[in-house]
A and B are shown apart, each in its own frame.
Chain A
């Protein structure tokens, strides 16, 4: 059709193994033809699960595509999709892909300025928004970017019948599409077949830790190759029950909830709201579950808090069986024989099984974590209750599917071996390089960055790593993050921070020491866990800020940091720390939406604190900057205590 022959030839040369007609949409059509009545998607709505079969799915996608085309969307247009996970937003993404337009999911909590900047960069004309709140943001963004001509909303609440100009309902677009399909027989078929494997199916974005986010276009072929590699190695199986609770703008959600779901006929389940995700998880009891190390850790904290306040017999049973299971799991990872058949059996019946059930993980066969290092206690604990938790390693640029642990090579420090079909090597600078059909073909409209990231077909991940003698990969941290203290000691702050965050009492931490004499830490306490501790130990508090400054909480955190120091090489121990009066917040710009630290912001904003820590002061009057919900800023005077770490020096 409108495919440019020269570009097609170039694309085909890049991926000689790909067949043109082998697209995600073709997989959708095939599922709808072969198992039209099988449930493809469920969404919990007002307490019950609404089901969509594969036939419903295909119809929704095609009708929306036809409607979107009638509204003037052309191949190559970028369509923004913003909101929490909703069936209609998934339909919208694939509907746009039918037209060879490029769906670009955005984080639901992104502020208007970020969105407007993205629209300007990517020339976005059409946006699909979840609800009135997102539509309001779009309308505000239109003040800066007048070319946003059409906003399509999903949830009609507060909008239906009173749409501002340029706003239309998802159902209205679908109805227009349905009318077109009726008038033009053959259009439905044509829409599915229009795109090829070389077309971009989704436009993701780098997290933007440094500078503006880069667009990362993934083609049908990248996603399908990644999913097939993973399936070949047994990381996914056909017909998994999957919870789609992670942000749609994160690459993993697209891979799991769309790519793998189409290829392997997953049942994708969408929770009612992010607040009910854990409850809905238990109702659905998925077979495949992915969560970030932070989420696993939060889950463990929830259990520990629950056990701390439970009644006598239950707690004693937990205290009897859990340490034994942890010890057995530790022995198993060390390759030692594990005994205790009866203990295991009783524990399974009394503690491990019920906890898995309470968490909604009773049917999980494949549990994964990735993104950053996971704490030893967390990792062991979940494996000890009988969950086959494994780590993998990947980035948006390689569809998040690059390296993973096989059931037989579980380890805390390594992340496993490359997937079949993925090549891996470490270059002279210690950087991890990857090559394979799941690696993207370059950043969106950014040849300079593309040339840096892709050299001779190898993706430069920017991660420092090393390969163990048995072929397993160890990820050390970002190459760019290796910094030196004044005395020349090299360290990666993230590495130390992650170890600090393994403590249940520490939610976030920033370690600062580049070009300085000592390492200092800015600590954000975990309000739930520390609050519970404070209740048990009679420490009165009214707010996060007050709790964080209590002297006994300082002792507690100091002990936790000292425990981490004990495992760090000499010269890398943390000497002094401060408990911050608030958590790091993406709205304040201290962390990204995926909760990665923005170091320049922290250095800048908390500079006085860092100086005072280094100078050895006991406390500091700090003028805290506050960003209110409406975007206004103010400031508040706070006195923060600064403390030495026990036994450091």
Chain B
């Protein structure tokens, strides 16, 4: 119905490997990008600051994690710790007088190095054992951040981010912070889509599918796994810094706790492992669905439609939310990305059931 495929032909293999070959997809991407860029103009500051901005940043975080979990198949249950390293490192670097742009890169590198060291465990263990190793990282980093006053300023201290500017533009107003976060998220998105098509991306997939089989065809598991942890942690670290400077603006250790790691894993799983659009949809779902449900349930309760006790009412949104996650995963184990893909294919072959009938 919406898609028109005729007249799409290629005169070179490079053109045949374009990201968006179908004009309709191309227009959709352009329209979404324009909508996202102009969001500060038509979205009220309240919604921009508390819904859209965190969605963009958490999408970037989910993208970073899905590179590791979806592409390389390495489970990571301590990704909030990686982001914490990035956040604290960037604040201290800026305070030490390093320019913001450079400190973003450096904080990413620090996260990457520490993340890769813990990821070294992946060279020896797999599956649940790797989950244990990454959980250890989560608790170790948490403990260090809390107990080293030089980092956190104390167990209950809040570390304010200093005022910074990015490429001479002050990152102060909500719109400026939003655009910086959006730029980073778009950069990660483009990077992710392209990394899938490189030899590195294919090596990651080979490792995910069977690491010793990958070794047989000449992919070095040692190098590739370390690279996966390094790359993913770099992306996560910078995202942590962006989260600190663009959204929280004052960081405490609790913002990067174990439950945040679990939430990130949920985003990646609900969205669909290793999928770009899944990261965006998953982050949006995990972040916004509880808020939306709470608002819905409370407004229903206010109008007397849900005659339940106040105590139960506060749990009801969480119950629905949990049921929705289970429902989505039962309906489509490959996540929201697969649901989107199904819908897209439904319209791609319209009015037939499948292609080439």
A residues at B contact (CB < 8 Å): 42, 47-51, 279, 282-285, 302-303, 305-307, 309-311, 314-315, 317-318, 349-351, 353-358, 360-363
Contacts and interface: CB of A to CB of B under 8 A. Distances in A.
Given A49-B11, A284-B7, A285-B6, 15 more contacts: A48-B16, A283-B8, A284-B9, A302-B357, A305-B357, A306-B351, A306-B352, A306-B357, A311-B353, A315-B351, A354-B350, A357-B5, A358-B6, A362-B6, A362-B7
B53 to A, nearest CB: 37
Contact of B9 (A283, A353, A363): A283
> Top 4 A-B pairs ranked by shortest CB distance?
A306-B357, A285-B7, A285-B6, A306-B352
Interface string B316-357: 000000000000000000000000000000000111110011
A379 B226 CA distance: 64
B356 A279 contact: yes
B210 interface: no
A282 B6 contact: yes
A60 to B, nearest CB: 18
A381 to B, nearest CB: 14
B353 A309 contact: yes
A354 B1 contact: yes
B42 interface: no
B12 interface: yes
A48 B352 contact: no
A314 B5 contact: no
B352 A314 contact: yes
Contacts of B12: 48
B342 to A, nearest CB: 12
A362 B12 CA distance: 23
8 contacts: A42-B11, A47-B13, A279-B356, A310-B352, A311-B353, A314-B351, A350-B1, A362-B7
A311 B354 CA distance: 10
Contacts of A350: 1, 351
Interface in B248-296: none
A49 B6 contact: no
A282 B351 contact: no
B4 interface: yes
A302 B354 CA distance: 12
Interface string B4-25: 1111111111011000000000
Contact of A360 (B6, B352, B353): B6
B10 A48 contact: yes
B29 to A, nearest CB: 20
A301 to B, nearest CB: 11
Nearest to B16: A48
A282 B10 contact: no
Contact of B357 (A47, A285, A309): A309
B164 to A, nearest CB: 48
B1 A48 contact: no
Contact of B351 (A42, A47, A51, A318): A318
Contacts of A306: 351-353, 357
A51 B3 CA distance: 27
Given A279-B356, A306-B357, A314 B350 contact: yes
Contact of A310 (B8, B16, B351): B351
A50 B16 CA distance: 13
Dominant secondary structure of chain A at its interface with chain B: helix
A49 B356 contact: no
A354 B351 contact: yes
A49 B9 contact: yes
A553 to B, nearest CB: 22
Contact of B16 (A47, A311, A317, A357): A47
A307 B9 contact: no
A606 to B, nearest CB: 34
A227 B10 CA distance: 30
Contacts of A318: 351
Given A48-B11, A49-B11, A306-B357, A351 B351 contact: yes
B289 to A, nearest CB: 27
A389 B352 CA distance: 23
Contacts of A317: 351
Nearest to A350: B1
Contacts of A353: 4
Contacts of B1: 349-350, 354
Nearest to A39: B11
A279 B356 CA distance: 8
B317 to A, nearest CB: 33
Nearest to A309: B353
B129 to A, nearest CB: 44
B351 A363 contact: no
Nearest to A364: B6
A45 to B, nearest CB: 10
Nearest to A306: B357
A299 to B, nearest CB: 11
Contacts of A363: 6-7
Contacts of B350: 314, 354
Contacts of B353: 306, 309-311, 314
A354 B11 CA distance: 25
A446 B3 CA distance: 56
Interface in B150-179: none
A338 to B, nearest CB: 23
Contacts of B356: 279
B324 to A, nearest CB: 25
B6 A307 contact: no
B6 A357 contact: yes
Given A357-B4, A357-B5, A49 B10 contact: yes
Contacts of B351: 306-307, 310, 314-315, 317-318, 350-351, 354-355, 358
B346 to A, nearest CB: 8
Interface string B64-81: 000000000000000000
A351 B1 CA distance: 7
B6 A283 contact: yes
B11 A358 contact: no
A50 to B, nearest CB: 7
Contacts of A51: 11
A377 to B, nearest CB: 19
Contacts of A355: 351
A363 B4 CA distance: 11
Contacts of A50: 11
Contacts of A302: 357
Nearest to A44: B9
Contacts of A49: 9-11
A362 B4 CA distance: 9
Interface in B53-109: none
Contacts of A303: 357
A645 to B, nearest CB: 32
Interface string B26-49: 000000000000000000000000
B177 to A, nearest CB: 42
B200 to A, nearest CB: 25
